[in-house]
Amino acid sequence: MTLAARVSAQAKINLLLRVLARESSGYHSIETIFQRLDLADDVTVRVTTGRSLDCAGPAMPADGLGAMERNLAYRAAAAYADATGWPAGFAIEVVKRIPVGGGLGGGSADAGAVLRALDALSPHPIAGALVELAAPLGADVPFMTVEHPTALGWGRGERLMPLPAPPPRPAVILVPDFSIPTPDAYLWVAEERGLYAPAASVLPAGATANWEAVAQIAANDFQRVVARPHPQVAELVDELRAAGATVALLAGSGSSVFGVFEAPPDAAAIARSAGVSAITTRTSDAVARVVRAELDR
């Protein structure tokens, strides 16, 4: 029997995303409110003697995900093994349901799921130190390792404060047929601002208590600059608002956009009107548990 763990790697949206000062390293600080969705990849991690990664599923790009060693899930497992001396090897299986390159944190979700799975299996778990392992992997990965469905993040995403999760609501993701490289999005923000760097904001009390409160602070600094070379982004946000979305924004640095609704909308009609594919899901008020198992292989 093989020691294994399974977990749903939940996608995320950013209810607030502000790009702050550029550090001497070239990275920008951010201020963001992360929110998990029910939409998720399925991740299984087995303790083995070698190292492998297998990805499949309906959201897999036709040309694959590139070199295994560059995949965030693989890098997360390697980082865990290097930091703790365990396990000797791992086999990771990912069923992709989160669109790749859409700003929904799919790769980061897989990485966070792998770290949580390995820690659940480890004879010497490191618990809170997972965030430290996650930080070098990307700004979204630390959030994907914590047990909070909603959190304020700042710095490079590694500084996190839990927030009350707003009530679960139906959400629609619109997915255009292009992606936005994250470095390009940051470059466009920097070019627009020049030397100006905004300060962090002060969130009002109860900013995530309900969706009416969220709507008052919802914003994404990438949305305007991404919409210049890709005007369809603004059009998709307008489609969601016209359909009654309480909150509609670009997802992360794009290219997907999301809308949160009080009641389930006609997603098929929205997709037809917008001329893109749509995914229906819900915002989540819980983090999927890691389930340990003993498998035959």
- Spot the catalytic one: 38, 140, 184, 221: 140
User: Can you spell out the DSSP letters for 179-221?
Assistant: ---HHHHHHHHHHHHTT--PPPP-PPTTTTSSHHHHHHH-EEH
- Spot the catalytic one: 12, 41, 42, 221: 12
Q: What are phi and psi of 236, to 5 degrees?
A: -70, -40
User: Which residues are within 8 A (CB) of 272 and not within 5 positions of it... i.e. 6 or more apart?
Assistant: none
The Cα–Cα gap between 14 and 139 comes to 12
- To the query of whether residue 177 is one of the catalytic residues in this protein, the response is no
Give the start-end residues of each E strand in the chain: 2-22, 28-48, 51-56, 89-95, 150-155, 159-162, 170-175, 219-220, 247-250, 257-260, 277-282, 291-295
The Cα–Cα gap between 150 and 15 comes to 10
CB atoms within 10 A of CB 155: 16
The Cα–Cα gap between 41 and 295 comes to 20
Q: What is the DSSP letter of 231?
A: T
CB atoms within 10 A of CB 275: 13
- To the query of whether residue 12 is one of the catalytic residues in this protein, the response is yes
Burial class of 177 by CB neighbour count within 10 A (0 to 12, 13 to 18, 19+):
exposed
Q: What are phi and psi of 239, to 5 degrees?
A: -60, -45
What are the catalytic residues? Answer: 12, 140
